Amino acid sequence: MYAAAGDVGAARAAFAEIAGPDVVCITAMVGALATGGEADAARELFDGMPQRDHVAWNAMIAGYVHTGRSREALRLFDEMRHAGAAVGEVTLVSALTACAQLGALERGKWVHSCAHSRGMRLSVTLGTALIDMYSKCGAVAAAMEVFDSMGERNVYTWTSAVSGLAMNGMGRDCLALFKRMESTGVEPNGVTFVVVLRGCSMAGLVDEGRACFDSMKSNHGIDPWLEHYGCMVDLYGRAGRLDDAVNFINGMPLEPHEGVWGALLNASRIHKNVELGKYAMDKLMAIESKNDAAHVLLSNIYADSQNWKGVSNVRNMMKAKGVKKVPGCSAIEVGGKVHEFFVGGKTHPRHKEIEMMLAEMNQRLRLQGYIANTKEVLFDIEEEDKEDAISLHSEKLAIAFGLVALPEDMEIRIVKNLRVCEDCHDYTKMISKVFNREIVMRDRNRFHHFKDGACSCKDYW
């Protein structure tokens, strides 16, 4: 009860009063600590258990997943299997969620086959987890195959499928599935509308998105959340309808939150509106003064207009507040193992091969007319130095490793923690054509499917 209420301190106190706690009590405490953000303390308690049942294993694995420590979750899942503990649906759902967080498609497929080989029924919970995993790994066809094969679905299943189409930029398919959901009598919830509006925003479907937003209250009795208002500002902003975005904010019945101002700031960057960007940034800073992404966006707006004084001011502001830019990190799965690359990283065991492949990539692309787009480099430095800086972005390192380590007929799948920059987007499009490779990239906002020199986003992201 204390754990469910988020009161880990009270849970600790109650646990301390138990004389000789049994496996049930210890498991409950493991779960309380793990979901309360104290995964290391939970693991210490878990490791000290004189005996463990499958519930204890599941609690610790779920705790790792809950705190975003997906690699540790999968390692513990392997230990659980080797220990001979009973692996059930709860375990596999946690493992699938970990795979979804990592974008580890091959591992996710293995978990799927594990469920099949054990003769598990495709329940609503398991099916929804599979749809989520495949969607977040960019395998939309596989996600929809699972969805279509399910005999029973609930609102979470439908929402997961709609979300998968939305995040992969398939806005019209997303809307069509949403309409199908409504026609079957399944009542959408607030989360469903968030993902539908995001799907419309990704695809530039402004009128359709506005119609969905208006139908929330009138057709389904759902009062819009702040997230829905943020999606609408993003929808108008991406489409270049900045006046409509500002008017929409001014007409909000709720106080705009950081998501709303962040969406307006991003729209200002896309459409190079410096004044509106400064306005949005001022509003955002009043709510969230240490938002690193917002500072970087404003820097990009200044850098794009070659206003180096503005860039310098933002950097000084970040330094004064102690705000640090999150380093770019890209992950790629090879042979069931997830490899991480950070911007400029040189620590990978196969770095020499990666370096040679990068040189080959750059040479072949230059022959095709590639010129580095250095507009988003935040420093007022020489152009050659800017090109060196941008050539070592984490996704380029991951792509180089993919070309070295994966079979030629296999897709290269990358997960990045930040939004892909314009240069890396153009670069990856050319790589897909010059090297004849399909590349699927999940950045912080959406999926990009690169093939034959084009991207599924149609350069609208």
Answer yes or no: is 365 within a domain. Answer: yes
The pLDDT of residue 382 is 42
Answer yes or no: is 203 within a domain. Answer: no
What lies within 8 Å, CB to CB, of 446 at 6+ separation is 167, 168, 169, 202, 457, 461
Residues spanned by the domain of 448: 329-455
**Per-residue H/E/C for 107-119:** HHHHHHHHHHHCC
For the segment 356-365, the average pLDDT, to the nearest whole number, is 93
Answer yes or no: is 250 within a domain. Answer: no
The pLDDT of residue 315 is 83
Say which residue, 317 or 210, is predicted with more confidence. Answer: 210
pLDDT digits (tens, 9 = 90+) for 234-292: 999 999 999 999 999 999 999 999 899 989 988 998 888 988 988 988 888 888 777 77
Q: How confident is the model at residue 206 (pLDDT cuts 50, 70, 90)?
A: very high
Pair 449, 436: CB distance under 8 Å: no
Answer yes or no: is 145 within a domain. Answer: no
The pLDDT of residue 274 is 87
The pLDDT of residue 327 is 82
For the segment 165-182, the average pLDDT, to the nearest whole number, is 93
Answer yes or no: is 400 within a domain. Answer: yes
Answer yes or no: is 426 within a domain. Answer: yes
Residue 18 burial (CB count, 10 A): 12
Residue 247 burial (CB count, 10 A): 11
The pLDDT of residue 375 is 61
The pLDDT of residue 383 is 40
Pairing of strands 454-455, 329-334: unpaired
The amino acid occupying position 297 is: L
Provide the number of structural domains found in the chain. 1
pLDDT digits (tens, 9 = 90+) for 414-461: 999 888 888 899 999 999 999 999 999 998 888 899 999 998 887 766
Residue 215 DSSP SS3: helix
**Enclosing H/E stretch for 440:** strand 439-442
Residue 270 burial (CB count, 10 A): 16
Q: How confident is the model at residue 380 (pLDDT cuts 50, 70, 90)?
A: very low
The pLDDT of residue 391 is 63
Q: How far apart are CA 365 and CA 433, in angstroms?
A: 10
Answer yes or no: is 346 within a domain. Answer: yes
For the segment 110-125, the average pLDDT, to the nearest whole number, is 92
Answer yes or no: is 269 within a domain. Answer: no
Pair 327, 343: CB distance under 8 Å: yes
The pLDDT of residue 69 is 92
Beta bridge partners of 332: 339, 414
pLDDT digits (tens, 9 = 90+) for 303-332: 777 777 878 888 888 888 887 777 889 999
Q: How confident is the model at residue 390 (pLDDT cuts 50, 70, 90)?
A: low
- Phi, psi (degrees; rounded to nearest 5) at 295: -60, -40
